[in-house]
């Protein structure tokens, strides 16, 4: 039977048009361009429907409301298609991929986010390959995950980071192996792909509400006063981007006091590393232990994108603070590896 793929076009470079002010979203433009690619309608391509969002967004404008729109869109068409492709701007694609991983619970079909660095309308582009491969993967491979396909890698969505502003190889999954590599063949790493939930599992959407969370990057010379400011109510959760294995300046008692005052008020502070890859271990150094003593919890190998999405998700569940803390440190969707 011919496979069917649903394409949600949310915007992004892939479907943009050249204007006097640079590339900008243009309604109808992507569908026009796709109609000119005859390959898209012959085997091995699946049948597809494109739904263009209104407005089409540069992903710099995405908010959790847009994530919900995408999740709802997929859920509404879930039974009618074999897989789903979400066309998205690259700038915040890793955030959306992380958020959708938490929002779409009990997923049994592939949801593949992709986009491009050069739009489909340009002669030389990465859009065509990303689009075609994402469509084939969504149609042919029963991967029960939210994934991101870009360059030549299929990655778990909640493990991705945008790593290059200019290269076609714009995304990476620094702390988890790719779910697939695409060259002459599409080679999937089935050992890394999550197991299919039981047939009786139905798809549930977990909406995210606009929780009061933030991220903050440590740097030498950081002022405790600024940290105290960031941690003021109504903040509920903070991703603290700390040094190396999660260290911070333990000689600065005022800084540590600011953290402690906040955690004692119930603010959840999750320590993630500023390093591109690797994991937090607050027991390694006195400078990490001091943060733990101030009530900061380890985010292990969570990306900052996944940590923020997970905080949004958990705070939207109306859970006691201790449960949020414990679930932040529990692997829910393959986003985290505990030692």
- Could you give the CA distance from residue 77 to residue 84 in angstroms, rounded to a whole number? 9
Q: Does 160 bind ligand ASP (CB under 6 A)?
A: no
**Binding status of residue 90 toward ligand ASP by CB under 6 A:** yes
Q: Which of 13, 114, 160, 263 is catalytic?
A: 13
115 binds ligand ASP (CB under 6 A): yes
Is 114 an annotated catalytic residue? no
Find the shortest distance in angstroms from Cβ 8 to ligand ASP.
Answer: 14
Choose which of 58, 73, 140, 281 interacts with ligand ASP (CB under 6 A): 58
Q: Which letter does DSSP use for residue 64 in this model? A: H
For residue 229, give both structure tokens.
């400011």
Q: How far is CA 88 from CA 59, 66, 97, 204, in A?
A: 7, 11, 10, 22
User: In this complex, which beta carbon is closest to ligand ASP, that of residue 91 or of residue 172?
Assistant: 91
Phi first, then psi: give them for residue 38, nearest 5 degrees: -65, -30
Contact status: 59 vs ligand ASP (CB under 6 A): yes
How far apart are CB 217 and ligand ASP at their closest, in Å? 21
CB of 91 to ligand ASP, least distance (A): 3
83 binds ligand ASP (CB under 6 A): no
Cα separation, 291 vs 299, in Å, equals: 12
**Count of residues that interact with ligand ASP, criterion CB under 6 A:** 11
Contact flags string 4-43 toward ligand ASP, x per CB under 6 A: -------xxx------------------------------
Q: Which residue in the set 52, 66, 82, 91 belongs to the binding site for ligand ASP (CB under 6 A)?
A: 91
Q: Within its chain, how far is the Cα of 229 from the centroid?
A: 28
Which residue in 1, 20, 60, 123 binds ligand ASP (CB under 6 A)?
Answer: 60
Among 101, 117, 130, 298, binds ligand ASP (CB under 6 A): 117
Stretch that binds ligand ASP, among 1-9, 58-66, 125-133, 173-181 (CB under 6 A): 58-66
Closest residue (Cβ) to ligand ASP?
Answer: 89
Among candidates 118, 215, 117, 209, which has minimal Cα distance to 170?
117
| Complex with ligand ASP: residue 60 or 123, whichever CB lies closer | 60
Beta carbons within 10 angstroms of residue 321's beta carbon: 15
What is the longest distance spanned by two Cα atoms in the chain? Answer: 66
Q: Does 122 bind ligand ASP (CB under 6 A)?
A: no
d(CA 336, CA 333): 8
Contact between 143 and 178 (Cβ < 8 Å): no
Q: 3-class DSSP state for residue 250?
A: coil
* Cα angle for residues 204, 208, 213 (degrees, 5° grid): 150
Closer of 59 and 263 to ligand ASP (Cβ): 59
Asked whether position 151 contacts ligand ASP by CB under 6 A, the answer is no
Q: Which is nearer to ligand ASP, 11 or 299 (CB)?
A: 11
Q: What's CA 324's distance to the chain center, in Å?
A: 19
* Mask for 214-233, x = binds ligand ASP (CB under 6 A): --------------------
Q: Which is nearer to ligand ASP, 119 or 246 (CB)?
A: 119
H/E stretch holding 93 reads helix 93-103
**Given the rule CB under 6 A, which of 27-35, 83-91, 213-221, 325-333 is the region that contacts ligand ASP?**
83-91
Distance CA 144, CA 195 (A): 7
Strand partners, 24: 17
* 277/274 Cα distance (integer angstroms): 8
Query: What's the alpha-carbon Rg for the chain, to the nearest Å?
Result: 21
Tell me the catalytic residues.
Answer: 13
In the complex, the residues that contact ligand ASP under the rule CB under 6 A are 11-13, 58-60, 89-91, 115, 117
């Amino acid at each position: 039977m011919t496979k069917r793929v649903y394409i949600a076009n949310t915007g992004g470079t892939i479907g943009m048009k050249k204007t006097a002010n640079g590339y900008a979203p243009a309604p109808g433009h992507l569908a026009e361009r796709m109609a000119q690619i005859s390959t898209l309608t012959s085997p091995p391509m699946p049948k597809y429907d494109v739904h263009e969002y209104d407005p089409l967004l540069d992903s710099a404008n995405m908010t959790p409301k847009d994530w919900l729109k995408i999740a709802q869109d997929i859920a509404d068409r879930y039974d009618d298609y074999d897989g789903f492709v979400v066309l998205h701007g690259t700038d915040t694609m890793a955030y959306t991929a992380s958020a959708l991983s938490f929002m779409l619970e009990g997923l049994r079909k592939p949801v593949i986010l992709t986009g491009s660095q050069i739009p489909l309308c340009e002669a030389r582009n990465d859009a065509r390959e990303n689009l075609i491969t994402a469509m084939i993967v969504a149609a042919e491979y029963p991967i029960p995950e939210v994934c991101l396909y870009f360059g030549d890698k299929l990655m778990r969505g909640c493990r991705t980071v945008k790593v290059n502003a200019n290269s076609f190889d714009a995304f990476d999954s620094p702390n988890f192996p790719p779910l697939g590599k695409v060259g002459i063949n599409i080679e999937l790493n089935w050992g890394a792909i999550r197991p299919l939930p039981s047939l009786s599992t139905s798809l549930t959407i977990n909406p995210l509400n606009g929780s009061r969370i933030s991220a903050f990057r440590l740097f030498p010379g950081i002022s405790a006063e600024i940290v105290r400011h960031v941690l003021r109510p109504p903040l509920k959760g903070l991703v603290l981007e700390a040094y190396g294995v999660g260290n911070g300046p333990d000689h600065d008692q005022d800084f540590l006091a600011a953290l402690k005052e906040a955690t004692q008020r119930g603010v959840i502070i999750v320590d993630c590393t500023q390093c591109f890859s690797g994991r937090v271990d607050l027991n390694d150094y006195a400078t990490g232990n001091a943060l733990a003593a101030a009530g900061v919890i380890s985010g292990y190998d969570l990306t900052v994108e996944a940590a923020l999405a997970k905080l949004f998700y958990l705070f939207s569940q109306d859970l006691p603070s201790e449960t949020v803390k414990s679930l932040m440190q529990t692997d829910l969707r393959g986003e985290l590896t505990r030692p």
